Amino acid sequence: MSLVSTQSDSVRRTRGFSLVEVLVVVMVILIIAAIAIPNLVRGKMSANEAAAASSVKTIHSAEIIYISNYPDVGYSDNLASLGTHGSNCETPTSTNACIIMDDALTSGLKNGYIYELVGDGKKPTQSYTVTATPESSATGRCGVSTNEGGALHFFTPGATTASQGRLSQGTGNASCEL
C-alpha cells in the first residue's frame, strides 16, 4: 500500500506549479518591471527632446530656403506655409512652399512637442521665432527655440530665461541638458 501512495504523490507533484511558485515568479516580474519602466520613460523623453531640437533646426533651414525663394514675402510666419498646405507641390507658392514634407511637423504637433512659428508682423517678414514646447511633462522636460540667427536655445517650460547651448537650471531632473 505504501508503494501506491508514493506513486500517487509523485504524479501529483509533477502535474504543475504550486500557487506559491507562480506568485513568486509574478512578484519577480513585477519588481523587474518597476525598475525598467521609469528608465524607458526617461529614454523616451530624451528621444523626444532630441527630436524637438532636430525639428527646430529643420524649420530654421526651411526658413533660409523660404526667404531665398520668396524675398518679397520675407520669412514665413507660419509652419503651414513651409509645408504642402494641402497641395500636390507641382507649383509651390509662398503659402505652400513644399520645403518641409513632414505634415506632422507643419501641423505644429510632433513627438509630444508643440511647435510654434511666429513672424515679426512686418512686410516683408524680417525675423521669426520658432518654439518647441513639451505637450506635457510626460513627453519632455525641455523646450527648444531659435530665431533667424539659428542658435538653439534650451529652456525649462515655465522658466523666465533661456540660454544658448546647455541650460542647467535647478537640481536633479529639473534641468535641461541636451
Q: Domain tally for the chain? A: 1
Instruction: Cell numbers for 39, please give them.
Output: 528608465
| 143 in a structural domain | yes
DSSP secondary structure letter of residue 165 = S
| 117 in a structural domain | yes
| 31 in a structural domain | yes
User: What is the C-alpha to C-alpha distance for residues 106 and 113, in angstroms, rounded to an integer?
Assistant: 12
Q: Residue 21 has what pLDDT?
A: 92
Q: What is the pTM of this model?
A: 0.76
| 9 in a structural domain | no
User: What is the C-alpha to C-alpha distance for residues 89 and 116, in angstroms, rounded to an integer?
Assistant: 23
| 116 in a structural domain | yes
Q: Residue 172 has what pLDDT?
A: 39
- Measured in Å, how far apart are the chain's first and last C-alpha atoms? 75
* pLDDT tens by residue, the chain, 178 residues: 555 555 555 555 567 889 999 999 999 999 999 998 988 989 999 999 999 999 999 999 999 999 999 999 999 999 999 999 888 989 999 999 999 999 999 999 999 999 999 999 999 999 999 999 999 988 999 999 999 999 999 999 876 554 445 443 333 345 676 5
Q: How buried is residue 22: exposed, middle or buried, by Cβ count under 10 Å (0-12/13-18/19+)?
A: exposed
Given a contact cutoff of 8 angstroms between Cβ atoms, the answer to whether 101 and 83 are in contact is yes
Q: Residue 61 has what pLDDT?
A: 96
| 6 in a structural domain | no
Grid coordinates 498646405 are at which residue?
A: 85
Domain span at residue 131? 18-171
Q: In this predicted model, what pLDDT tens digit does every residue of 39-62 receive, in sequence order?
A: 898 999 999 999 999 999 999 999
Q: Residue 163 has what pLDDT?
A: 47
| 8 in a structural domain | no
| 10 in a structural domain | no
Instruction: Cell numbers for 68, please give them.
Output: 531665398
Given a contact cutoff of 8 angstroms between Cβ atoms, the answer to whether 112 and 48 are in contact is yes
